[in-house]
Structure 1
């Protein structure tokens, strides 16, 4: 009973600008997963509600975890021993994937071994790594923040950057280029948010940003023939020449264009997508935005993405107004994770980036993604709640 009384006392301080968009996005995701998956399942003589039921299960589980993170005492996450355990478990899971890839290459899906099968559920360690890195960097920079001054930056960054760099490398070796890129950008944003001089940050961003167009132009002019059988290299070629390679890998992007074009401004209506009927492979994961565009049109896409980016902006707002470095960095890390992931997904669907298999937060099918996002959102809600209660005590 004490637990419920504690929750009732905290309810007035909940941030509904975070809760409402989150619940709406989860609901939209459930509807779109069912719409995008039911036809394919029915054609294969399977239960059309299979992925719907799984998504609802993960959504309920995610909301329960979010509730625990919001109202529970999460102070134990700032304990060095607990942080060490979290990092250790993450490393073990990522190492297991590398071993699995060597001893059981048939486990690869789309060229990568990214999931650990635990019977009725699959775990994606890359998703766990995202939260681990956010918690670790918030923890370490809260401790070392005052020392991140000129002359001491490199000394205080070598250890943390080496560790998160190693985690990112393990993800890259799966190989999961999209996941590794997301982790690298989360790390970069959190490092700059921790108080690194702006000159360092701008130099890094300009340097990394200039490599992307250079790499694309290099691949256009000098095809790398010895990588011809590499799944990841084929994805890059399909991105560069989707129509020329429509029969050998470019069809996913071409059919995404067709779906977006079919949708127009208002869409064909929920359930009426044509491209999900066997043209877009696995349309309920990384290409669910193309199905959404065909069924709800440009206006529907703008509304859904508007909700998502409003949520991200609100999380940043909470981080800006937080009174400790630790709280701010958790908010910035969560916002970075969602922003980068959404940007990669959108860019892949419209052909601005190679297809990386990155899902759209809350909308795409996936249990690990929903649980990871729920943990992060729960922590942000907890921070917002504490800030509001402390502000009232100060007034």
Structure 2
């Protein structure tokens, strides 16, 4: 931590205290047979707090560890939530997935903190994106987004999100090489990026998974805004207005010619179809109302019986058992983690674009889940980052958190410096 900030030990203590208070709430208000039922969950949560804090301290030297502590706080809150749905236990599978997400956070940090290195791997990013698209087309079956490997299901479209954000960030430098075509100044890289986005839109449409499409659109939109704000960008106000108008027209056309199941979700009256298309949303709204501010108690809810209670409508499940205040607090923790890298002054345009893309993806994804559960928008079926059950989503969220961490502690190394150092060492030996 910074010298004028909170000490490392105090941050660890604050995370531990929060989780201990939640475990005490389970002990006092939870649904369980004997107090021993809580011990595996308590040992796992407290153990992860101590081990991860120690590993960070011993193995990593950073400018700040704030995001790591917020992520650890959020991860174990998620483990506690998922272990209480329908009765207090221990969500071992979700716990293991959370640990993998923490590992991928460090991996994302190490891979993206040096923008010079990641810039040199831009072609590799396009290859990975293409491979993920082909895997969806060839391995998922008929118009599906899932690859089933026995008991394990993988969603390649989730892994496309960090790759697409990185592609957006690595294409900034080509703004210096714009050419005028008709009335527009465009770069080759921007045209390729737009083509990749169009392919993703077509893929999502073909697979009938339009719920994830707004997340990719948000990342692309942030990349476009960063290009408009780039010092070398030659965009007039008329061009910006024209592009905005085209975007609005495309959205209206998409709504008008959307598939039948999307049209049903847009026009459904959930209270008149409580046993049909409005079943999940009705149950979700009823659960939020019954939970009130403080909830029924951990494990005391009934929404867990509804399909996707721990994924697509997890916000309602938390509201029912823990109360609206606790659910809102969890969302605020996610928001604080997303805002942390934006507080510090960005040190490169690459990191700025990358951070904005990650924040846009997570906020849109979180908003779709919450607003869908509350019936403010049509039900989309996407997850809340770090809170919902799901391996692909959790691992992807961990990698995205690592990209945010890289924005806080970037590394700048020029390849020429290594050569100079090696020459100096040889001279010294001679």
Scaled by the length of structure 2, the TM-score of the pair is 0.72
Q: Which residue is 1:314 aligned to?
A: 340
Matched, 1:298 2:324: yes
Cα deviation, residue 235, structure 1: 3.2
Equivalent position to 2:160, from 108, 129, 135: 129
Q: Which residue is 1:275 aligned to?
A: 303
Cα deviation, residue 203, structure 1: 6.1
Tell me, in whole angstroms, the C-alpha distance in 1 between the residues paired with 2:408 and 2:135.
36
Tell me, in whole angstroms, the C-alpha distance in 2 between the residues paired with 1:215 and 1:73.
35
Tell me, in whole angstroms, the C-alpha distance in 1 between the residues paired with 2:110 and 2:186.
38
Change in 2 beyond 3 A, CA 1:265/1:128: same
Asked whether the 8 Å contact 2:265–2:379 carries over to 1, the reply is: yes
Q: Which residue is 1:385 aligned to?
A: 409
What is the SS of the residue equivalent to 1:381?
helix
Q: Which residue is 1:253 aligned to?
A: 281
Asked whether the 8 Å contact 1:194–1:325 carries over to 2, the reply is: no
Asked whether the 8 Å contact 2:283–2:303 carries over to 1, the reply is: yes
Tell me, in whole angstroms, the C-alpha distance in 2 between the residues paired with 1:72 and 1:78.
7
Larger displacement relative to structure 2 (66-75 or 130-139): 66-75
Matched, 1:353 2:392: no
* Pairs within 5 Å for 1:69-88: 69-71=108-110, 75=114, 78-80=118-120, 82-88=121-127
1:29-82 superposed Cα distances (whole Å, 9 cap, x missing partner): 11222223x56xx9xxxxx75xx11111111111122223335685485254x3
Cα deviation, residue 382, structure 1: 2.6
Tell me, in whole angstroms, the C-alpha distance in 1 between the residues paired with 2:311 and 2:201.
22
Q: Which residue is 2:225 aligned to?
A: 192
* Pairs within 5 Å for 1:47-62: 49=90, 52-62=91-101
Q: Which residue is 1:45 aligned to?
A: none
1:122-179 superposed Cα distances (whole Å, 9 cap, x missing partner): 22111111111101010111x2234569965334532221122212321232121011
Matched, 1:28 2:28: no
Change in 2 beyond 3 A, CA 1:147/1:117: same
Q: Unaligned 5+ residue runs, structure 1?
A: 43-47, 106-111, 390-395
Tell me, in whole angstroms, the C-alpha distance in 2 between the residues paired with 1:261 and 1:21.
29
What is the SS of the residue equivalent to 1:117?
strand
Asked whether the 8 Å contact 1:91–1:167 carries over to 2, the reply is: no
Q: Which residue is 2:15 aligned to?
A: none
Q: Which residue is 1:118 aligned to?
A: 149
Q: Which residue is 1:109 aligned to?
A: none
Change in 2 beyond 3 A, CA 1:270/1:212: farther
Change in 2 beyond 3 A, CA 1:210/1:348: farther
Scaled by the length of structure 1, the TM-score of the pair is 0.77
Asked whether the 8 Å contact 1:348–1:355 carries over to 2, the reply is: yes
Q: How many residues align?
A: 350
Larger Rg: 2
Cα deviation, residue 311, structure 1: 1.4
* Pairs within 5 Å for 1:191-270: 191-196=224-229, 199=237, 208=247, 230-237=260-267, 240-270=268-298
Asked whether the 8 Å contact 1:341–1:358 carries over to 2, the reply is: yes
What is the SS of the residue equivalent to 2:199?
helix
Q: Which residue is 2:26 aligned to?
A: none
Q: Unaligned 5+ residue runs, structure 2?
A: 1-53, 230-234, 414-430
Cα deviation, residue 338, structure 1: 0.9
Larger displacement relative to structure 2 (119-128 or 284-293): 119-128
Cα deviation, residue 15, structure 1: 3.5
Change in 2 beyond 3 A, CA 1:317/1:357: same
Flag the structure with higher helix content: 1
Change in 2 beyond 3 A, CA 1:204/1:353: farther
Q: Which residue is 1:179 aligned to?
A: 212
Matched, 1:153 2:185: yes
Tell me, in whole angstroms, the C-alpha distance in 2 between the residues paired with 1:362 and 1:8.
25
Larger displacement relative to structure 2 (152-161 or 254-263): 152-161
